Amino acid sequence: MKRLSGVSLGVYVIHEFVIAVLEKLLHLDQSSYYHMLALPMVVWVISVAIVLGLQKIPGVNRLLP
């Protein structure tokens, strides 16, 4: 749980970018059920993975606490 709380700011910062990329790649309509039900969890998982990966790079961990 502590590790996930350490990525919350990074997830907040990066999630809009992840949403934009997924919408372009998957051609999602914002009123679709997939967009409303599944996309939030998918975006969260991808965002956490990106932030955890970035935190392992020296120097970047100062930008994404």
In a domain, 25, yes or no: yes
In a domain, 20, yes or no: yes
What digits encode the pLDDT tens for the residues 21-55? 998 898 877 787 877 888 899 999 999 999 999 88
In a domain, 60, yes or no: no
pLDDT at 50: 94
pLDDT at 65: 60
Angle at 10 between CA 38 and CA 20, to 5 degrees: 45
In a domain, 24, yes or no: yes
Domains identified in the chain, total number:
1
In a domain, 48, yes or no: yes
Decide if 49 contacts 10 (C-beta within 8 A): no
Q: What is the DSSP letter of 56?
A: T
Tokens of 40: 């939030």
